[in-house]
Amino acid sequence: MDRVEAQIERLIQEIDYDEVSRLFAMLSGGKRLRAKLILKIAKEHEDAPLLAAIVELIHAASLLHDDVIDEAMTRRGKASVNATDGSKTAVMLGDILYSKAFTELVHFDKLVAQTISASVTDLSKGEMMDVKMAESFNSDEKKYLDMLYLKTATLIEAAAKASAILAGKNAAAYALYGKNLGLSFQIIDDILDITSDEATLGKPAMNDFVEGKCTLPYIYLYHALDEQDKHRLQSLHAKELSNEDTLWLKEQMKHYQTIEKSFTLAQKLSNEAQAAMHEDPELVAILETMIKRNY
């Protein structure tokens, strides 16, 4: 990972603008899940750290834009760039980071470059769907999972596939692993929004539904409730929740076991990913720590 951090540092230096260096230094690096994945899959390849740095810059850019779109004031426990320096700065910093990342893709084989760049179109489509879907209450599980796949899983899928191509490994198996890792990662994220607290998450808890996002535990709850309670659930959509509403939601979710049901799907996807990776215990370990995480 030191080599990835050194590559990221080099790319930021090459942008050659002290304002960008200052702002970038303020960002928290996060879990670097995508970079770790690339290094594990293509560890012998000398260009793996550069590919990992590229993907981390794209991810950082997408989060900068996402925080503007979501009007989020915190990111990874710190004030977001849009909160400290304004939305215009956050958008421009995102533009610089992802265009720099794209420029660096020319060092790679066409298929690797195409895999990564196409995933960014999907990621952007997924973000747009997420925003559109948050405008009204959504109870369609498939529609939700399709959006989730585009928004969160495609970049992880592309990272796994591109590094497998680089390493001459089975690209389809690694792509499936990345896709399911990404999907189960996001489902766990959705669960933690409900079961965890602000101090642990580094962002406000129970915030998805307030932002209009009907995540799986809410979708499953909708289908379990009777007509009257369905209306109550829908009436709470995209509004600040009172303590009483929060309590009601949590009680209903407990009663109908919608968190457990969501977790079961995350586990099923994770098991499929594990089956595709039976020969690679390190990648299986990533799945396990991700499913067990509490932040």
Q: How far is the CB of 279 from ligand FPP (least distance, A)?
A: 29
Q: Answer with the entry of Mg ion, ligand FPP, none that 157 interacts with (C-beta below 5 to 8 A by kind).
A: none
Residue 117 CA to residue 36 CA, distance in Å, equals 19
Stretch of 69-77, 85-93, 177-185, 230-238 lying at the interface with Mg ion (CB under 5 A):
69-77
Q: In this structure, which amino acid lies at residue 132?
A: K
Q: Can you state the angle between helices 87-104 and 110-133, rounded to 10 degrees?
A: 150
Which residues of the chain form contacts with ligand FPP (CB under 6 A)? Answer: 58, 61-62, 65-66, 70, 72, 94, 98, 120, 123-124, 127, 151-152
Is residue 70 close enough to count as binding Mg ion by CB under 5 A? yes
How many residues make up the chain in this entry? Answer: 295
Residue 22 CA to residue 257 CA, distance in Å, equals 46
Q: Is 75 helix (H, G, I), strand (E, B) or coil?
A: strand
Q: How far is the CB of 72 from Mg ion (least distance, A)?
A: 5
Q: With 0-12 CB in 10 A as exposed, 13-18 as middle and 19+ as buried, what is 85? A: middle
Residue 201 CA to residue 89 CA, distance in Å, equals 25
Q: How far is the CB of 226 from ligand FPP (least distance, A)?
A: 30
Q: Do 159 and 38 touch, CB atoms closer than 8 A? A: yes
The nearer residue to Mg ion, 115 or 138, going by C-beta atoms, is 138
In the bound state, the residue with its beta carbon closest to Mg ion is 70
Is residue 66 close enough to count as binding Mg ion by CB under 5 A? yes
Q: Answer with the entry of ligand FPP, Mg ion, none that 127 interacts with (C-beta below 5 to 8 A by kind).
A: ligand FPP
Is residue 130 close enough to count as binding Mg ion by CB under 5 A? no
Q: Answer with the entry of ligand FPP, Mg ion, none that 120 interacts with (C-beta below 5 to 8 A by kind).
A: ligand FPP
Q: Is 47 helix (H, G, I), strand (E, B) or coil?
A: coil
Judged by the rule CB under 5 A, the positions of this chain that interact with Mg ion are: 66, 70
